[in-house]
Amino acid sequence: MLAFAATISYLPNMTKPPKNTSGRGRRDLTVKVKTARGRKLSSKLWLERQLNDPYVQRARAEGYRGRAAYKIMELDDKYHFLVPGARVVDLGCAPGGWLQIAAPRVNADGSRSGKPQGRLIGLDLQEVDAVPGAEIHVLDFLSEGADDRVKEWLGGPADVVMSDMAASSSGHKQTDHLRIISLCEAAAELAFDVLAEGGTFVAKVLAGGAEGELQKLLKQRFDKVSNVKPGASRSDSSEKFVVAQGYRRPRDD
């Protein structure tokens, strides 16, 4: 299978956290969460971070299903792969934040012209609430024949395959790194099967040293491969995103 290692670039913070506009003398409103009896410290810290995360707050205010929406927003603002009429598949699409951003940008919801263009397919192992303009299926993309079903639903090859998937955390950093690289490898393999010539692959990985083979393979299959940490990614997170553009299909495909 595959893996990455390229120079990491950092996007300008195109989706800036909300500014404090309430005026002089505003008190610090950082939320502190008391540790209830039986609640683990890790759960308390996670909840406290969520309550104080400006992107979480902004997502709620703007109707997005999570802070991850701003990650794909920033990536597309820089690399421009979600264009009107594009056929896009989102692997592991729950809870649907990436679909919310993609639908109007590819005009799958008809918001740009009144008439829908392109196709937007979301795949996940669980049911996901409907997103206007997106067609969501419960499907394990690792299953036999998944690539053929994706192309059938899209009505042809994909212009973009994107994935924000992350394996369940084991609590062991290196194990988690290997798991997410394996997921990314599998997502890339599906992308090789369904992408049209010139297509784009976007996926989340964790920095940690096991990306070399995947990066090498992507560079063999795409004209340009970039590794990016969007401003919406938490500074203490090792996540980054690979954006591989200009897919070159093997001659025997």
Biggest CA-to-CA distance, the chain: 68
153 assigned ligand-binding residue: no
Are residues 124 and 92 in contact, defined by beta-carbon separation less than 8 angstroms? yes
Helix (H), strand (E), coil (C) string for 121-160: EEEECCCCCCCCCCEEEECCCCCCCHHHHHHHHHCCCEEE
Q: Which residues are catalytic?
A: 204
140 assigned ligand-binding residue: yes
Task: Determine the Cα–Cα distance for residues 105 and 112; give it in Å rounded to an integer.
Answer: 8
Long-range contacts of 78-84 (CB under 8 A, 24+ apart): 78/11, 78/14, 78/228, 79/200, 79/226, 79/243, 79/245, 81/159, 81/160, 81/200, 81/202, 81/243, 81/245, 82/106, 82/160, 83/159, 84/112, 84/113, 84/117, 84/118
98 assigned ligand-binding residue: yes
Task: Determine the Cα–Cα distance for residues 106 and 96; give it in Å rounded to an integer.
Answer: 15
For the annotated binding site for S-adenosyl-L-methionine, the residues are 96, 98, 124, 140, 164
Binding residues: 96, 98, 124, 140, 164
